[in-house]
Amino acid sequence: MDDKKSNEDLLGEHNSTSIIECAARCQKECSFYGFNPNMKKCRTHKKIFTSGKSNESGWRYYLNNVIIIDCKDLQADGYFNSGVYEIYPSGTITSPVQAYCDMTKMGGGWTAIQKRITGSLSFDRTWTEYKNGFGSPEQDVWIGNDVIHQLTKENPSSLYVSISLQNGTTLYEMYDGFSVSDEAGKYQLFLAGPATRTLGDSMLDTGDSNRDLSGMYFSTPDRDNDRYSANCADLSYIRGGWWFNYCGFAHLNGLWSSESWRWPWYRTVMVGISVNGTTMMIRRH
């Protein structure tokens, strides 16, 4: 960074509790701002003095009104360690979301939308809870259907699904296309083009049109949007929110560590008692 140039353009350096507060300081006369989360410091600049990166440890710089939408943005901005970060899927600094970012698998830049690691968190939840999200991103979490919609509504994305088993094996699948509609559209799921990996496909082209999940609506125990005569999400061997058809061959939100959790991923993982962890992550193209 050119210190002389940055000092000439510096409008001010302030104590700041968050990047939201820092961005709020960047008014009409400000074109560029920096935030250091370790120092809790904010800098506002009149002009853009760098392409968007700084060599100063801990400082990150942003164009005014340019928001970090997802983990791919963070990776592009020089963050290469996996962990929990603040993102802004809605495109506004007033709606931050804590998300786990995987910066290593398949090139990194993945935003986790579902994680089950400890099994201590119940996924037998209501429509509103799935809408808003629940859990902790560093452990067990559903990021929220509204957030999933925001992340995918204008960004063609890939979906990465992994299941780790009690025997230490981890299996995964990737889908080239993934998006979810808004609440008015019942969070309808759209999938495209999996390349068969070690887990196999139990969502898109299962060989049974009554089990394929692309085009299906989201259901919860208190909101029945599937094609089955009963509510799949409310059945004793399913229990949990998901996209259901005539029920289905895949369901990662079942009753943890239970023989009643049937078909987490049909043909590959037949009963939930064998599951040690699950992850769903997305990355825009």
Dihedral sign, Cα of residue 51, residue 82, residue 120, residue 280 = positive
Q: How confident is the model at residue 46 (pLDDT cuts 50, 70, 90)?
A: confident
The predicted pLDDT at position 56 comes to 75
Q: Where in the chain is the domain with CATH 3.50.4.10?
A: 1-66
Q: Express each pLDDT in 84-114 by its tens digit.
A: 998 989 987 778 899 999 999 999 999 999 9
Q: What is the dihedral angle through the alpha carbons of 140, 146, 148, 151, rounded to the nearest 10 degrees?
A: -130
Which run of H or E residues covers position 273?
A: none
> Shortest CA distance to 63 belongs to which of 75, 86, 45?
45
Structure tokens at 215: 């085009």
Question: Which tops the pLDDT comparison, 67 or 219?
Answer: 219
Q: Indicate the average pLDDT of the chain.
A: 91
- Three-class secondary structure of residue 84 per DSSP: strand
Structure tokens at 82: 């996996």
> Shortest CA distance to 233 belongs to which of 205, 212, 252?
252
> Shortest CA distance to 276 belongs to which of 121, 83, 137, 116?
116
Q: Where in the chain is the domain with CATH 3.90.215.10?
A: 67-284
CATH 3.40.50.10330 corresponds to the domain 1-66: no
Q: Express each pLDDT in 118-166 by its tens digit.
A: 999 999 999 999 999 999 999 999 999 999 999 999 988 999 999 999 9
The predicted pLDDT at position 4 comes to 43
What b/e sequence results for 18-56 when a residue is b if at least 16 CB atoms lie within 10 Å of its CB, and e otherwise? ebbebbebbeeebbbbbbbeeeebbbbbeeebeeeebee
Name the pTM for this structure.
0.83
Q: How confident is the model at residue 27 (pLDDT cuts 50, 70, 90)?
A: confident
The one-character DSSP state at 132 is: H
CATH 3.30.2140.20 corresponds to the domain 67-284: no
Question: Which tops the pLDDT comparison, 96 or 280?
Answer: 280
Q: Express each pLDDT in 239-251 by its tens digit.
A: 999 999 999 999 9
Bridge partner residues of 254 (DSSP) = none
Q: How confident is the model at residue 54 (pLDDT cuts 50, 70, 90)?
A: low
